Amino acid sequence: MLNQNVSSFQRKFVGEVKRCEELERILAYLVQEINRADIPLPEGETSLPAPPLKQVLEMQEQLQKLEVELREVTKNKEKLRKNLLELIEYTHMLRVTKTFVKRNVEFEPTYEEFPSLDGDSLLDYSCMQRLAAKLGFVSGLIHQGKVEAFEKMLWRVCKGYTILTYAELDEPLEDPETGEVIKWQVLCKAAESVYTRVIQVKKMKAIYHILNMCSFDVTNKCLIAEVWRPEADLQGLQRALEEGSRESGATIPSFMNTIPTKETPPTLIRTNKFTEGFQNIVDAYGVGSYREVNPALFTIITFPCLP
């Protein structure tokens, strides 16, 4: 890393890294909603290159519009679902409470919430009328697991002057907080390309992280980087630089110089799909020094003997 003295907030490509992080946030939100809606997430290509800046800006605009649309749909859907559940609860409440509350015709005039006492004396009211003026009832729906706590709370609030009667509903109701989410058309549209975009954004973010480790020349137009590379891969590196210069349309081609050094090179152990897992086990205890014997070979042989 050639710019260790530069703060991470003062490097050249900090804005691009933040843009990638914003895209990752939007994609993570889309993936979360897609999984919640039980929509299959098709796997796309993983070998696609990182998109150029023009495509990145188009991708950012599309994802932001998709996020706004999805949040609006989610908000409206949740609001409508809660209204529907409230009406269903109210219907069940009326059906259940009609078995508990039976109005008698002769006592109907006495059940007034606020009886008028302006022109009459309190002595004119019968005992039943005065008692009825103080009585009332509250009905509603509550989760079955909260009935006991609710009963204790009513007992304490009403100082024991309460009668609690409840009945279970025949039809189970959906919880608006944990209910299933419907499969929206906007999610089906996003699921078609979200996997590919996640891969592209990760590659793009990794590129900008590497560019932030490079330093600029005097003209502040060319990037300079120092890397370790095996001698067998030097030709491949040169071809990659030439291809990158050609595709970017740079007027000055990228070039590579070999710098002699006496420093100890880092350890490079080539793995495949089979040996990668065993090598990760060995690296968990520590990476060997340069030209040190790699114990991964013995780990492959002795691994079945472990208890």
Identify which of 8-17, 18-27, 77-86, 163-172 has the greatest average pLDDT.
18-27
91 & 183 share domain: yes
Q: Which residue's entry shows tokens 């290509």?
A: 45
181 & 232 share domain: no
Q: Is 127 among the domain residues?
A: no
298 & 176 share domain: no
Q: Is 297 among the domain residues?
A: yes
Q: Is 144 among the domain residues?
A: no
212 & 234 share domain: no
92 & 229 share domain: no
User: CA nearest 211: which of 196, 227, 231?
Assistant: 227
Q: Is 202 among the domain residues?
A: yes
pLDDT digits (tens, 9 = 90+) for 185-213: 667 777 778 888 888 899 999 988 888 88
Q: Is 183 among the domain residues?
A: yes
Write out the residue range of the structural domain in which residue 297 sits.
275-305
Q: Is 190 among the domain residues?
A: yes
Q: Is 280 among the domain residues?
A: yes
42 & 77 share domain: yes
Tell me what the pLDDT averaged over the chain comes to: 75
End-to-end CA distance of the chain: 43
pLDDT digits (tens, 9 = 90+) for 25-77: 999 988 888 888 777 777 767 777 888 778 888 888 888 888 888 888 778 77
Please give the Cα distance from 247 to 50 (Å, whole number). Answer: 13
54 & 24 share domain: yes
29 & 81 share domain: yes
Where do runs of H (alpha helix) occur along 37-100? 53-97
287 & 192 share domain: no
* Domains held by the chain: number: 3
17 & 90 share domain: yes
Q: Is 68 among the domain residues?
A: yes
189 & 232 share domain: no
